[in-house]
Amino acid sequence: MAVYTEVSDEELFAFLQAYDLGPVLSFKGIAEGVENSNFMLHTQSGYYFLTLYEKRVREEDLPFFLGLMFHLSERGITCPQPVKNRAGEVLGRLAGRPAAIVTFLEGMSPRRPDATQCAQVGEMAARLHRAGKGFSLHRKNALSLAGWRPLYEASAPRADDVVPGLRSVLEHELKFQEKHFPTDLPGGVIHADLFPDNVFFLDGVCSGIIDFYFACNDAFAYELAICLNAWCFEPDASFNMTKGMALLAGYERVRRLDPRERDALPILARGSALRFLLTRLVDWLNVPAGALVKPKDPMEYMRKLRFHQKVASAREFGLAA
Amino acid sequence: MAVYTEVSDEELFAFLQAYDLGPVLSFKGIAEGVENSNFMLHTQSGYYFLTLYEKRVREEDLPFFLGLMFHLSERGITCPQPVKNRAGEVLGRLAGRPAAIVTFLEGMSPRRPDATQCAQVGEMAARLHRAGKGFSLHRKNALSLAGWRPLYEASAPRADDVVPGLRSVLEHELKFQEKHFPTDLPGGVIHADLFPDNVFFLDGVCSGIIDFYFACNDAFAYELAICLNAWCFEPDASFNMTKGMALLAGYERVRRLDPRERDALPILARGSALRFLLTRLVDWLNVPAGALVKPKDPMEYMRKLRFHQKVASAREFGLAA
C-alpha cells in the first residue's frame, strides 16, 4: 500500500481541464497497489480511479496496458476502462508522472477464495485469453524464463541470509527450468498477475478484473499455472485439490487445454512459483529504509515450489482426464 | 498517510451484519490520516467512511468525538455523521480495534488556501463554537499548557540535533507560557485541529469539517490562534496579513471576540505554535524504522513561533479595531 506522489488540488484541477468529467467532488489517495500511486476520484459525472505511474512501470509499456483494457472491455471483459480526454488521449501527465483515469470498478477481493470463486477465475482467465485475440500491440513477458537468471544473480549472494539453503534451491530450479521450460505452447495476451487481489466479486459472482500492469504475450497455460499458485493453496501451504479441480474445470469450460499444455502444466507451475519466489526475494532484500510498502514473504513461494517439484502430472492439480 | 490495520472481506462482512447498510460494493483503504486506519466503504445504501481507531486515540475519548459529530451535525455544521447500527450504537469492534462508520463527506482540502477560504474557515470556526453549546460531554485539552512540559522533557535532550539552539528556544517559550498563558477566557467545545487538511471546499465554498479526534473543551480564542498558524502563513514562513484579516473578520461576523480574547491572541498564537512545534518534534525524534508515515517538519512551527514572539497586538494579525 502506498501513495508515492502527492497531488495538490491545483495540479488536479489543471489536469482535469483536459477532460469532460465535470467538477471534482472528492479525491482520496488509495492505500493499495505497490507499483503506482492510486487515487479515487469523484466528479459530477461519476467515480473514477486515477493512477500516477511510478518508476517501476516503464512508460513505453503504458500504451499496451491502457490499450489492452480498452480492447478487453469492448469484448465483454469487465475491467477498468481508460477515460479519454477531449483530445482523445488516455495518457496524460500529472505531478511529473504519466497519469491515466480509468472507470471505477465495484467489487471486493476475496481474502480466502473458495472453490466457487476458483471456478470463476478459471473461467474468467479463459474468457480473457479469448478476448485478447486481435489486440494489435505486443509486449514480451519480462518476468518469464529469460528474466529469471538476472533476478537469481541479484539475489543469490544473500539468499541464504533469508533462509539457509535457499540459494541452492533457486540454483537447482533455475537450471531445471532453463532445460525444460516449454516455449512452443499456444499463447496470446495474458494478465500474468491474476491474484485474488486483482479479481473482484460481488455477492459471490466475479464482477471484474483489475491491474493489467504485468499483462503481456505469453503461453495461456502459464497464466493458469500462476492462478493455481495464487488461488489453490491453503495458508498452511497445502494444495487444495478441490480448488484446483474447480479452477481448471472453469477454464476448460471456455477453452480446452491441448495435450501439450496439459503435459507442460507441472513445469509451468514450478516456473511460476520460481518467478514469484525470485521477485519477492529481490524485493525482500531491497526494502529501502522508511519503505511505505511491506514486502511479501518470499517463503510462501518456496513452499509452493517444493510442492510442485514432487508433482508428476497435471492430474495432481485436479485436471480432468 | 497510512492503513495500519488490514481488514479482510470476511471480517468486514461480519461487522456489517450489525448495520442496515445493504451489501458491500467496494471497500478501499484510504492513504490519509496519521492517527487511525481509514477506509472508504460503498454499500448499496451509499458511501461511508470507516475508521479503525489505532492506539494513539484513547478508547475512552471516542464517545466524546462521535457524540460531538452527532451534536454538531444536528445543529447545522456539515461534518461526518456517525452511523448507528441496529442496536443504536455508533461504536463497534473490527479487526481487534474500536471502529465506527460515518457518512462520507464530499469536498477537497485546499493545498494553498486563499483569503476567501480563510474568511470561510473563520466563520465556520465561530459557527462550530456556537453549535457546540449544550453538548453534554467534556474532554480536557490534553495538548494545552499542562501537556507541553512533558513533551518538552521528552524532546529537549535531542532537540539540538534537529536544529542547533532549538532546545533553548523551547525552554524560553515554555517558561514564558507557564507564566502568561491565559486561563479564564470564554470557551466551550473547539475542534483544536482546524488545519486545511480538515476543511473541505466545493467550488470555492466551504463544504464541511472532518477529523474531530483532537476536539476538546478549551478557549475559543485558542482555536483561532491555531487557525492563524495553520491558514495564514505563506510557504516562505511570512505571515499573510490579508488572510489574517479575512479569517478574523470571518470569525467575528458570527461571534465577536471580547477584549480579553483580543488581548490574549498574541500569547495564544505563540502557545499554539509551541504546541505544534513540540508534538512535531516528538514525532520527528520518534519515527520508527519502516514507518508508514513521514513526520511533518517541526521547523515550520519554529519559524511561526519566531514571528509571533515579535507580535505586540492582535492588530498585527489583521484584527479589526
Close Cβ partners of A277 (under 8 Å, ≥ 6 residues apart) = A170, A298, A301, A302, A304, A305
Q: Going residue by residue through chain A (321 aa), what tens digit of pLDDT does each one get?
A: 466 788 999 999 999 999 999 999 999 999 876 678 999 999 999 999 999 998 888 999 999 999 999 999 999 999 999 999 999 999 999 999 999 999 999 999 998 999 999 999 999 999 999 999 999 999 999 999 999 999 999 999 999 999 899 999 999 999 999 999 999 999 999 999 999 999 999 999 999 999 999 999 999 999 999 999 999 999 998 999 999 999 999 999 999 999 999 999 999 999 999 999 999 999 899 876 555 566 788 899 999 999 999 999 999 999 998
A30 and B32 within 8 Å at the Cβ level: the answer is no
- Nearest-angstrom CA–CA distance, B209 and B191: 9
Give contacts of B43 with chain A, Cβ < 8 Å: none
Q: Tell me the nearest-neighbour CA distance from A203 into chain B, angstroms.
A: 8
Q: Which CATH architecture has domain A115-317?
A: Alpha-Beta Complex (3.90)
Contact A287 B290 (CB under 8 A): yes
B108: which chain A residues are within 8 Å (Cβ-Cβ)?
Answer: 9, 12, 24, 26-27
Q: B interface mutation test: which of A50, A197, A292 has the most B CBs within 10 A?
A: A292
From the number of C-beta atoms within 10 Å of its C-beta (0-12, 13-18, 19+), residue A145 rates as: middle
Is the Cβ of B235 closer than 8 Å to some Cβ of chain A? no
- Interface membership of B188 toward A (CB under 8 Å): no
Quick one: pLDDT at residue A291?
59
> B295 — contact with chain A (CB < 8 Å)?
no
Place of cell 447545522: B76
A17–B contact, CB cutoff 8 A? no
Query: Which whole number is the average pLDDT over B36-49?
Result: 94
B27, B111, B294 ranked by CB distance to A10: nearest: B111
* Distance set, CA A279 to CA A276, B24, B42, B70, B131 (Å): 5, 33, 34, 49, 56
Residues B245 and B293 sit within 8 Å (Cβ to Cβ):
no
CA pair distance B279, B147, nearest whole angstrom: 10
Whether the CB of A205 is below 8 Å from some CB of chain B: the reply is no
Whether A29 sits inside 8 A of B30 (CB atoms) is yes
Q: What is the pLDDT of residue B292?
A: 57
Residue A16 DSSP class: H
Task: Write down the pLDDT at residue A288.
Answer: 66
Show residues of chain B in contact with A202, CB under 8 Å: 23, 25
Say what the pLDDT of residue B2 is.
62
pLDDT for res B42: 96
In whole angstroms, what is the distance from residue B54 CA to residue A71 CA?
A: 43
Which residues of chain A form CATH 3.30.200.20?
Answer: 9-103
Interface test with A, best of B3, B28, B202, B294 (most A CBs within 10 A): B28
B40–chain A Cβ distance below 8 A for any pair: yes
- What is the model's pTM? 0.87
Residue B16's CB is within 10 A of a number of other CB atoms, namely: 21
Q: Which of B9, B25, B108 sits opposite A27 (nearest CB)?
A: B108
Q: How far is A284 from chain B (nearest CA, A)?
A: 13
A46-77 per-residue burial string, b: 16 or more CB within 10 A, e: under 16: ebbbbbbbbeebeeebbebbbbbbbbbbeeeb
Q: Looking at the complex, does the CB of residue B202 fall below 8 Å from at least one CB of chain A?
A: yes
The answer to whether residue B53 scores a pLDDT higher than 90 is yes
Chain A contact for B54 (CB, 8 A cutoff): no
The fold adopted by the segment(s) A9-103 is: Phosphorylase Kinase; domain 1 (3.30.200)
The answer, yes or no, to whether residue B58 has pLDDT greater than 80, is yes
The pLDDT of residue B1 is above 50: no
Where in the sequence of chain B do the CATH 3.90.1200.10 domains occur? 115-317
pLDDT of B23 over the 90 cut: yes
Q: What is the ipTM of this complex?
A: 0.84
> What are the strands, taking DSSP E only, across A157-226?
187-190, 199-202, 205-209, 216-219
Mutate to test the interface with A, among B6, B103, B111, B199 (most CBs of A within 10 A): B111
* Residue type (1 letter), B36: N
pLDDT digits (tens, 9 = 90+) for B112-131: 999 999 999 999 999 999 99
A39: left (phi over 0), alpha (psi -120 to 50) or beta: beta
For B104, the closest chain A residue by CA position comes to: A26
Residue B190 has a pLDDT of 98
What local confidence, expressed as pLDDT, does residue A292 receive? 57
Predicted confidence (pLDDT) per residue in B242-294, tens digit: 999 999 999 999 999 999 999 999 999 999 999 999 999 998 998 765 565 66
